[in-house]
Amino acid sequence: MNLFDYLRGQFPLDRERGVVVNPDGDQLSYRWLGERSAVFADAMEREAVAESSVVAVQVDKCPDFLALYLAILRSGRVFLPLNPTYTAAEVEYFLKDAHVGLLVCQPERAAEMQGVVKRAGNAHLLSLGTRGDGTLAEGAGRAIAQDRSPAGGGLVKDESSSASSNAAAPRDDDQPAVLLYTSGTTGKPKGAMLSHGNVRAMIDGLHESWGWRSDDVLLHALPLFHIHGLFVAATTALRAGATMILLPRFDAEVVLEYLPRSTVFMGVPTMYHRLAREERMTRERCSRIRLFACGSAPLSVPDFAAFQERSGCTILERYGMTETGMLTSNPLVGVRKPGSVGIPMPGVEVMLADQATLNLAAEGEVGEIWVRGPNVFTGYLDRPEANEDAFVDGWFRTGDLGRRDADGYYSIVGRARDLVISGGLNVYPAEVEWVLDSVEGVEESAIIGLPDDDLGERVTAVIVRSHPEVSAAAITQAARAQLAPYKCPRQIEFVSSLPRNAMGKVDKAQLRRSFEKI
Ligand code: MLC
Ligand code: AMP
């Protein structure tokens, strides 16, 4: 079943109910969302964007982003969201790798993206701004400006008036709905294909486990281009027919302002770390909140405790990944253990595999987390070898190392993969090393994550120079030119050589140990 049809079937019967409350107080209704998505679907049709093609969206967070997401689903195309801070070079890679049929970019980057689209093989290019502007919205009419719900009204067209746009394209559960890029140790991002059925399984599991209700108000401060903000937060809220306060980005001050009106908040550990340090984060302010959920990176026990002390609320930590959606969660009702990611989500099977033998790890021992279930993605796009490595007898290897306690709760104790998680954003060392190694005067580089109170891990470059005069500033400048800012090293260290293990691979664990001591 097309995920859009499934979601629409869960929308409140009273379509005038608010789906999004903007920070400026404007409310947009479920009726608006249905109609706006139909209008965008029609616009893609008019642009002759091929059916089933991948549509890349590099647009700032706003209500129209959600409408475009639904438009892509309902028209049977595949949604590929991209971080707005990606450079032109990064976007070009995705367009080529995913054979993108349409790129929707921010209006102010349209000129820059014209060249990118051409180099990538002439995908269509449209733009969409946060105020209903841009070439995609032009044909569609500025519906945002015209919808002043709760009464609604004044929209450019009624959803039921267009048979073509009202019907969602028929899709089977295993057909692709969303393509999300993630990486392995190779450094080249791979497109993880999530089907209509995968996403539905994930949001149904969350709906049930976290007791979603149509009168929930989600305070949404996460980006919409990752599964956390897109599926765990926004799509599950749509599944419940709930309302979202859609903040353009996380800002602790603004979050504090909207907490009293909200019932659910989700964040990465950095957000909780920052909120726990705010004087205005009081029990009274959180009195309506029924759920503070956290994930994407490990939540430290001190941050868990500090937040509890201030807010009187116990954070519910959960664990998941792009390829699989949510895997485990602490319970809504029951004990939430600090430092633990809880028990398997409904329908998800989890096992711990001994890394050497690939058999079940002994009870109480650390093993690689392997998972199975309807939520697990269908594979990486055009990467037969990666798919071969990723699956064993139908189990997906997460690359995370975990332990299970006597109560069946899991905790993540490390990663088998080379990965830095900074503020909940994944940075793949090989991708950054590749850029740094090409800087004149750099002989070789190694990217590691060092502990950071705020970001969890800080991207750190350890460099061997071939020319002694190459400076940290020059390296930073080169990184900035090619990589999104969050991937750029915040700390640069120079060494005479990199430690290597018996296999000749850089020993990153040793590097981390030596710089952690400093
Ligand atoms: C922003 N910056 C970062 C950064 N985010 N640097 C390192 N790591 C990050 N995560 C940089 C900016 O480029 C800028 O640099 C400077 O920090 C300030 O920018 P900002 O926009 O003010 O940043 P800030 O508000 O501080 O953002 C931090 C943050 C944000 C934690 C709020 O990164 C965020 O929203 N993270 C959530 C990521 C997320 O959704 N992850 C889910 C992945 S899904 P400069 O130099 O240009 O000024 C997943 C699966 C699962 O993992 O289980 O959920
Ligand atoms: P991504 O590829 O961006 O989806 O990131 C997924 C990875 O984030 C997982 O494989 C874990 O390494 C990490 N992760 C997500 N949630 C948690 C958590 N609660 N604790 C520790 N690590 C987590």
pLDDT in tens, 420-460: 999 999 999 999 999 999 999 999 999 999 999 999 999 99
Output the residue whose Cα is nearest ligand 2's atom 22: 297
For ligand 1, atom 10, name the residue with the nearest CA. 423
Q: What is the 3-state secondary structure (H, E, C) of 380-445?
A: ECCCHHHHHHHEECCEEEEEEEEEECCCCCEEEEEECCCCEEECCEEECHHHHHHHHHCCCCEEEE
pTM, to two decimals:
0.94
* 217-268 pLDDT per residue, tens: 999 999 999 999 999 999 999 999 999 999 999 999 999 999 999 999 999 9
Ligand 1 contacts (CB < 6 A) are 222-223, 226-229, 249-250, 268, 270-271, 295-296, 320-322, 422-425, 455, 485-486
pLDDT score of 157 more than 50: no
What's the 127 CA to ligand 1 centre distance in angstroms? 24
> What are the pLDDT digits (tens) for 85-111?
999 999 999 999 999 999 999 999 999
User: What atom of ligand 2 comes closest to residue 294's alpha carbon?
Assistant: 19
Least confident of 162-166, 326-330, 362-366: 162-166
How does the average pLDDT of the chain come out, rounded? 92
Task: Enter the tokens of residue 407.
Answer: 């109560």
Asked if residue 146 has pLDDT above 60, the reply is no
Pairing of strands 442-452, 456-465: antiparallel
Q: What is the pLDDT of residue 187?
A: 62
353-381 residue pLDDT tens: 998 888 899 888 999 999 999 999 999 99
pLDDT of residue 140: 61
Taking Cα atoms as reference points, which of 30, 36, 55 lies closest to residue 123? Answer: 55
Strands 425-427 and 420-422: antiparallel
150 preceded by a cis bond (ω within 30 of 0): yes
pLDDT-derived band at 150 (thresholds 50, 70, 90) equals very low
Q: How confident is the model at residue 149 (pLDDT cuts 50, 70, 90)?
A: very low
Residues with C-beta less than 6 Å from any ligand 2 atom: 182, 295-298, 317, 319-322, 341, 398, 400, 412, 415, 421, 426
Q: Tell me, what's the pLDDT at 255? A: 98
Q: What separation in Å is there between the alpha carbon of 111 and the centre of ligand 2?
A: 36
pLDDT, mean of residues 171-200:
91
What atom in ligand 1 is closest to the CA of residue 322?
A: 50
Helix (H) or strand (E) holding 458: strand 456-465
